[in-house]
Structure 1
Amino acid sequence: MRIGAVVNPVSGRKAGRSLWPEIAAALGAEGAELDIRETGGDGDAARLGQALSEDGSDLVIAVGGDGTIGEVASGILRSDRPGVAFSFVPAGTGSDFARNFALPTDPRAYAARLLSATATPVDAGVMTCEGEDGRALSRHFINIASFGVSGPIVRAVNNGRRGRGLPGTPVFFLHSVSQLLRYRPRCVGLRLDGIDLFQGPITAVAVSNGRWFGAGMHVAPAASLSDGLFDVVVIRGAPTVSILKVMNSIYTGAHIDHPLVSVHRASRVEVWPTRADRSMAALIESDGEAPGRVPARFDVLPGAINLRI
């Protein structure tokens, strides 16, 4: 078997990075032909994932955080072999996509699973939005894209020094509380599958393929990776004290019963700002990265990824 691996050498979790060499050694011992390539900057993971797919890999593995996993999946989807099998070794700060699966912790068992598992089609998403430079951009995501306070939270986690050395959950919690205390709800219009759902202030909206984001926040407890639909979780704008109560229950999934929260299912989500002030446009995060801001559109790609895990 020809296996291509895209490795992010500076991903958030040292434990995940240290697991990978043992997995690679176990794969090699089983006769796999490995082509390992490391990222060196923005966009490398997608480019390398595309190159490994087009170079004839039987399986392409992403080693890194949710951003690396999403980018490698995007590279495969943009390649001329979008059906190549895909897998991952989680090594990020949040590693939320991995929470959708029961994964081995023993390197040899992980390698054996990569070699023997049957590839299963799972959904992906594609997003178009306004980039940080004001120009339109398009990118895929495999777990969750969201907008509202989650946008500045992810930017603070990725750029900040606070909590470095801590596990992902307390890092995200610290930055979440900090950003919520200064956040002013953004006013948006929201349309699902062509039907206008809502106009008004939001705290956050999660367009969910997977069930977790924010290093363990169980934001979309009923989401499925293979139903051809997003679970769209809307947390409306409210005073900070009320939102902190919602946040207190989001780790267990109990937030979905809160009056400020509603859950919907759709294959297309459209959002636009309802205020002219561009500085008040809601910021977007996608698989833990920060691509831009609304206006945006999110479309599900049913069964687009052949996931072996």
Structure 2
Amino acid sequence: MKINGIQQLGVGVVDVHEAWKWYREHFSMDILIFDEEAVAELMLAHTNGETASRHAILALNMEGGGGFEIWQHTGKKPTPKVTPIVLGDLGINIGVLKSDNVEAAYAKYKASGLNLLGEVSVSPSGSKHFFLKDPYDNIWEVKEHQFVFSKETAVNGGVFGTVIGVKNIDESLVVYRDILGFDKVVYDETKVFEDLSGIPGGNQKFRRVILRHSDVKSGALSPIFGDSEIELLQVIDGSPKDIYEGRIWGDPGFIHLCYDINDMDALREKAEGFGFPFTADSARAMDTFDMGDAAGNFSYIQAPEGTLIEFVETHKIPLVKKIGWYIDFRKRGNHPLPNWILKLFRFKRVK
């Protein structure tokens, strides 16, 4: 069983086309992997027992990192957050984007009139970073990381990780360390953090743990995903609320964190062994799950604080759709694809 990196961060929105246009313009998430309308029939555990019609777009950034799965309910009106997220609330608080030039990213976003939450500062891990809020009330961190898959004109890459509010860090580590493999503790301290002061709720006292993985990822798409990081925040004095209380998966906000994996059967056994059985499991229902132009199998677990973690075992993706060139991973194996093949993704760019 292999976990190959963050495939994508799910972002629930009210209008999938309008949101993707904004993310293309400002975050360079412009490489289209799939664009599909369908019914989510296997997610009943997270949609109040009813199937959910949806429209989803999966997009990547050629500078590397995980992608965005931009997701809109179409069978019902998306239910927005009743109150804004306060840092430390339970679930995914912040999406983290990588950048090899944080100052340039900050300058571009400031010139574009984006909602910046403070200045460039230094995180406890020693990396430069800053925070901003998009028009859909999602908070993003742009964090220094020198990995670039294919250098272009973008000032940021794709998803480097997430900041997650948890009830109890030691309980949540069973998922993030023992199942996902973030075994390297970069930072673990409890105090009030100056670099979080520009974020709503950032002046609270937190236990803050930053995790990375010590292994070198070697899946087919690992060269473009690169390394990743998870940050866990536990409020010391206070009562954090569940970000999705009264709402369902797919409603506006960060809906899940998805990992590209190999060997779903072995992962199922491992997760169950740690007390986290799959809450959705397409491999038990069918040989492969059709995602429009792409195909594979997916599953979910739910972390103790409520965060949904998705696993995708990719079977097929389109490379050059016009000539019918698809990559079938079940035939070619799961070793890293050559960079020259992965760089052909640039022909899937949508402006």
TM-score of the pair, normalised by structure 1: 0.26
TM-score of the pair, normalised by structure 2: 0.23
